Amino acid sequence: MVLSVGALRRDMNDLAVETWRKIETGDEQGLAFGENSLTDHNLWTLAQKHPGLNVHRFSQNREKETGADWEWWIGSMAQGWLCLRVQAKRAYRRTYPELDHAGNGDDDYQYDTLINSCDLLRGEYPLHVFYNGWKRKYFGHDSGWAAPAKWRACSGNAGPGKCWHAHPVHYGCAVASSFAVKAVHDLRCSNRRMVTAHLSWALPWSYLFGRSRLGRRVRTGAAEPKVATATPEWLDWVQANLDSLVDELPADADMRPRLPGSTQTDDRRQRRAEQLPAYANAVRRGTVQDSLQEISFMSPVASCVIVLDIDAEERGEADNHTGGSLDYEAWKARQGDLG
Ligand SMILES: [Zn+2]
């Protein structure tokens, strides 16, 4: 069995909804989940559910130098690797106040540091993941959408509430190009930190790995991805999708990503890392604990690292995800029999 992209995307949507609820109701309860807590839960859950995904949080890392909260490596030894380098920002009421966070050294802002740490020619993409949640009419739109932000989730030009591809709560985890975040924030106008300004450039994070192709009456839960399983062709699609995500910017953006003109698949494949860095390879093999002494030499770029090896199951290295948990399931089943 190869990793099912549809299942992965459904789980990412479910986690986006859960994240939304945590912020929507948690803040009121004084349970203000922070970015790290949300990231830990979301990445851990995905790794639990999908063999081929491995995750680790490093206490020693170069997050300050790179501005990266987490990194997602996707690929294989044979196909090369893409790196999604992510800064996570959560909404506090109507804004993302931490976008004002200063950068490292000479960088004005933390997003400049993140952008500068990425080399697009080596398949490293700077991204923001926004954690969102609010009450239905908070922005005055009955669907729950943060009007007047542009709704980009629909390929059929339907608006929020009418669109079957995505629901506003799927923006509980929303992804945007850090170049777009920079373009909006650099405007220095009053809405540069506003949720509404940034969501116009964001998509549900499940869109990173596939787009739903739906008839008008099909529900979101039944959405099929464009490519069904994590294959080399799927990796090509993910990369093309990332290219278009970082390439699409506000017209008045000062800084544009340096992507080569060619969109040939073979040329794209040249823009990947041939090998994983040592820390990510240790995560991939699930051997970080064995190599903790070497961790200072590994110098992880972000504190949290998740690796999706599309060839993992062929090597049979992913079986540490099942059968653990102290045989609790067997105990519970027997308890049921006795009751
Ligand atoms: Zn739609």
Cα 208 to ligand 1 centre (Å): 16
For the chain, the domains span: 5-338
Cα 171 to ligand 1 centre (Å): 14
Which positions ≥6 away from 16 have C-beta within 8 Å? 169, 170, 171, 172, 173, 174, 204, 205, 206
Is the confidence at residue 161, as pLDDT, over 50? yes
Which positions ≥6 away from 148 have C-beta within 8 Å? 196
- Residue-wise pLDDT for 196-245, tens only, equals 999 999 999 999 999 876 544 444 444 444 567 889 999 999 999 999 99
> What is the rounded CA–CA span in Å between residue 147 and residue 180?
19
* 3 state SS of 177: strand
Higher-confidence position of 320 and 184: 184
- Kind of pairing, strands 173-177 and 124-131? antiparallel
Cα 220 to ligand 1 centre (Å): 9
Cα 126 to ligand 1 centre (Å): 26
For residue 88, the model assigns a pLDDT of 97
Cα 329 to ligand 1 centre (Å): 40
Cα 66 to ligand 1 centre (Å): 36
For residue 217, the model assigns a pLDDT of 44
Q: What percent of the chain has pLDDT over 90?
A: 69
Cα 99 to ligand 1 centre (Å): 30
Cα 218 to ligand 1 centre (Å): 10
Sheet of strand 173-177, all strands in order from the earlier edge strand to the far edge: 53-57, 304-309, 70-76, 80-90, 124-131, 173-177, 203-204
Cα 212 to ligand 1 centre (Å): 9
Cα 278 to ligand 1 centre (Å): 41
> What is the rounded CA–CA span in Å between residue 269 and residue 332?
48
Cα 196 to ligand 1 centre (Å): 19
Higher-confidence position of 19 and 259: 19
Cα 166 to ligand 1 centre (Å): 6
DSSP state of 225: P
Cα 147 to ligand 1 centre (Å): 17
CA distances to 81, 108, 333 from 271, rounded to whole Å, are: 9, 28, 50
Cα 251 to ligand 1 centre (Å): 25
- Beta-bridged to residue 124, according to DSSP, are 83
What's the pLDDT band for 293 if we cut at 50, 70, 90? low
Question: In which element (H, E) is residue 42 found?
Answer: helix 35-49
- Residue-wise pLDDT for 238-285, tens only, equals 999 999 999 989 888 888 888 887 889 999 999 999 999 999 999 999
Spatial contact of 153 and 137, defined as CB atoms under 8 Å apart:
no
For residue 288, the model assigns a pLDDT of 86
Q: By mean pLDDT, which of 116-130, 180-194, 251-265 is the weakest?
A: 251-265
Cα 90 to ligand 1 centre (Å): 25
> To the nearest whole number, what is the mean pLDDT of the chain?
89
Cα 85 to ligand 1 centre (Å): 28
